[in-house]
Amino acid sequence: MVAEPGLRRIPEAGPAAPVAASGPCAPELSVAGLTKHFGDGRIVLDGIDLTVERGAAVAVIGANGSGKSTLLRCCLRLIEPDGGSIRLLGCEVTALRHRELRALRSRVGFVFQRHNLVGRLSALTNVVHGAQARHAGPRYWLQSLAPPAVRKEAMDCLDRVGLAHMARHRADRLSGGQSQRVAIARALMQRPRVVIADEPVASLDPTAGEEVMRLFVDLMRREGITVVFTSHNLRHAREYADRIVGLAGGRVAVEGPAHALPVAALQRLFDRDHGAA
């Protein structure tokens, strides 16, 4: 491990943020009439409407091919939608230019099924990478080069997910559950207002998945961060979300408070087969 030099922090300007047009009570995410077709003509999203209030935890559920992952990716234009409106943090996502879109994405944390860690680097360096949402330059490539304040913040994020003692371990030597905890810490390092998680525990065994899911949602609630996550686990959706949005055939089939929706109606969503998303 390279020794960590005591470097004086040099202030660096982050990306220019797009102008937000939302009031204090505006939803964090508002989707209206969202459509998406794939090249072979398949309709993946067919007029989706969705509202996520600030501080809420919303689960998007449905069978394979119902459009869950496509919906999340369209909300940040990781996949370009074909039509409809997407307002995220007060910005009309579909109207943003490249630089504005990058600035908006810097305010949104990502936690995906594949942890997307750099395996040959330490857990701490992977968390430091979350600061790249706010800063640019080589000082944010490695923890040994990071300003002391940034390194300390990254350590604090690891501590919040219970992995401060693993800070110097290579990411490729971590278990699946530990890797996902590092990914959560990296998302926290962004200081996001919204976190989007696509099947965050699907690749983990049931015990690790339960521990990581509980940690993830508890941390987001404690920090006041808005969460939208997809899941194939109906119990996780009912236990950890405030609201559930159930998709079927690219449309919203069921929506409401998590504990008010009939379990049988939710279970039927997983019994349908609508092809690949």
What's the first-to-final CA gap in the chain, in angstroms? 43
Q: Sorting pLDDT into bands at 50, 70 and 90, what band is 272? A: low
* pLDDT score, position 19: 42
Res 263 pLDDT > 50: yes
Please report, as a single letter, which amino acid is at residue 176: G
Stated pTM of the model: 0.84
Q: Are 198 and 72 in contact (CB under 8 A)?
A: yes
Cα separation, 131 vs 147, whole angstroms: 11
H or E stretch including 248? strand 243-248
Per the document, the length of the chain is: 277
Cα separation, 43 vs 261, whole angstroms: 27
Res 48 pLDDT > 60: yes
Q: Sorting pLDDT into bands at 50, 70 and 90, what band is 115? A: confident
Task: Among 14-18, 71-75, 121-125, 178-182, name the one with the lowest average pLDDT.
Answer: 14-18
Cα separation, 128 vs 110, whole angstroms: 15
% of residues, the chain, pLDDT over 70: 89
In the predicted model, what is the mean pLDDT of the chain? 87
H or E stretch including 35? strand 29-37
- Domains defined for the chain, CATH in brackets: 25-107+208-277 (3.40.50.300), 116-191 (no CATH)
Q: Sorting pLDDT into bands at 50, 70 and 90, what band is 13? A: very low
Q: Are 109 and 195 in contact (CB under 8 A)?
A: yes
